[in-house]
Each structure stands twice: as structure tokens, then as C-alpha cells.
Amino acid sequence: MRMLKYAALVLIGAISYGVLSTIMKLGFKDGFTMQELVGSQYFFGWCILLLMVLLFSRRRLGLKAGVSLLGAGITISLTGIFYGLAVEQLPASIAVVLLFQFTWIGVILEAVVERTFPSRDKCISIVILIIGTLLAGGVFEPSEGEITTSGIICGLVSAVTFALYIFVSGRVATGVPVINKSLYMLTSALIVVLVVFSPSFIYDGAIPNGLWKFGIPLALLGSIIPVIFFSIGVPKVGSGLATILGATELPAAVVASVLVLQEDVSALRWVGIIVVLIGIAAPQLLPLWKRKGSSKASLQKVEL
């Protein structure tokens, strides 16, 4: 039962990530740039976490733990930066599919570090997720926009950094309070974003002119909830399973675009979403089916 609770936290964190693209599209409609929206996300997220630490947990971290968390936080910002660049250069469906390569990358990363071959259940789940992602991403349907080599590279890099983020969030400074851990990770993430993009949105009047309406929700759903929930849940469920659960981001993104942006989604993409959900549930359901099968077999032997 406890494991289900931690898995639910990872699911909620992934779902909150999925809503980000819809909020960013609304921000684009209001005239804000990708750099402003991503920058405001990390800026407001850092401010909220700092306030939470000052109010609830002023514990000091050791040098080793602090440095490791700052390093881990870089993977968060790199994911946002490279995915944003991929979305600018590729059709959205292709960018999403490239990002979702983090599913098998994360499982392979865990297998290499732990020197164990991925379980059969995880391998089956990954195959199902890849098929579902291709369908839900609309790869087999006509898409607008050109495909560039640099865009493909950025999309794949975002997949690698997201897999690294999920992996390290479950292994770095696990004994540190979650709020403190999240603040340290977001500190380095904010620094990287401000260096790569520009901090001008902080002082050029963009925030009072409406950027805050998007920056605060982006911060809550992209920098507060997932970072905290992943910090709690990933160490308990393991980075391999957490990577699979993280695939919930794609169905969440599609559903949010339908409900908020009133976008049309084809039947094929809905089928893909269902397949993705099956792939996410597979690691949990397959062991249960095996147990039921073995128990039935044992009962039959007893009857004989």
C-alpha cells in the first residue's frame, strides 16, 4: 500500500509536467516568448521554495550534499531549455516523441549503474510505451512544420537530461528534507536558465504586465510539485519504475490541450494515450497476473 502511495506521487508529478505545454501555449497567445515563460517558471519556483524553507525548514546542508544537489538541479534546467528549443524547431508531435525517449533511456541508465539487466516486465512496458507514444504523438498523421537536425538533437538531449533528472532525484541526498533538497536543486536550475536565456524579464516590466499569470502556475506545476513529489517518491519506487510512471506526462498534455485549448485529437491519438496508460500500468499488473497464475496452478496440483 505504501508503494502505491509513492507511485501516486510520481504520477502526480508527471501529470503536472504534462500541463506545462498548455500553459505555455496560452502564454504564447498573450505575446510572451519561450525564454520569458521558462525563465519566469524557475524564478517564481525558486522564490516560492525559498519562502517555504524560511517558514518551515531552515536546516543547513553539508558541503557534499549541497554540491551534489546543485549538480542535480542542472539536469532540470537543461531539460526545459533543450525541450523548448526542440519545440521551436520541430512540429510539436515530433518534439514530444523525442522527449519521451527518456523512458527507455532511464531504464537502461538504471541497468548500467546497478549492473543488472532490466526485468522482463519493464522491457514489455517500454515496448508498449514506445508504440503508444508514437501513436499519441501523431507521428503517423500529417504534421505542419519542417524537421531540422538541430531540433532532433535538442529533443534527444532533453530526453537524456530528463532521464538523468529522474535518476539522480532518487539517489542524491536522500536524507535531506524534501523542501531544502528542492530549493538547492532549483537554485542551480535557475542560474543556468538565467545564464542561457536572459534575466531581463525580471526588470523590464514583463512580470507586472501579465507574465506573472503564467509564471506562477508554471512554477507550481513545473518546479514545485514535480520536484518535491519526485524527491519523495522516486527513492521509494526506484528510478526505473519512476521513469515508466513519468510517461503519464504525455496523456496529461493531450487531455489538457483538449480541455483548455479546445484542440482536436484524432481517434488514433486517443488509442495511443490508452496504450501509454497500459504501458504505465504493466509493471504493476504483470506481477499480479503471474501470482494469480501460479496460485491457480498450485491449487490444481493440490486438487489432483
DSSP state of 147: -
C-alpha atoms less than 13 angstroms from C-alpha of 264 in its C-beta half-sphere: 1
Q: For position 145, what pLDDT does the model report?
A: 58
User: Angle, to 10 degrees, between the axis of helix 178-196 and the axis of helix 34-56?
Assistant: 150
Q: pTM to 2 decimals?
A: 0.78
**Is 41 exposed, middle or buried (CB count within 10 Å of its CB: 0-12, 13-18, 19+)?**
buried
Q: For position 51, what pLDDT does the model report?
A: 92
Q: For position 211, what pLDDT does the model report?
A: 92
Domain ranges of the chain: 2-303
d(CA 181, CA 188): 12
Tens of each residue's pLDDT in the chain, 304 residues: 567 788 888 888 888 877 887 888 888 889 898 889 989 999 999 999 999 888 887 677 777 777 888 888 888 889 888 887 887 777 666 777 777 777 778 878 878 887 787 777 777 877 887 888 778 767 676 655 567 888 888 888 988 998 888 788 767 776 777 888 888 888 989 999 999 888 899 988 899 999 999 999 999 988 888 878 887 887 787 766 777 777 777 778 778 877 887 777 778 878 888 887 777 777 655 555 555 555 555 545 545 5
Q: For position 207, what pLDDT does the model report?
A: 92
Q: Which residue has the cell 525564454?
A: 35
DSSP state of 202: G
Cα 231 to chain centroid, rounded:
12
Q: For position 144, what pLDDT does the model report?
A: 56
d(CA 20, CA 22): 5
Q: For position 240, what pLDDT does the model report?
A: 67
Of the candidates 120, 142, 102, which has an alpha carbon nearest to the alpha carbon of residue 242? 102
Phi-psi region at 32: left, alpha or beta (left = phi > 0; alpha = psi -120 to 50) = beta
d(CA 189, CA 220): 15
Q: For position 114, what pLDDT does the model report?
A: 77
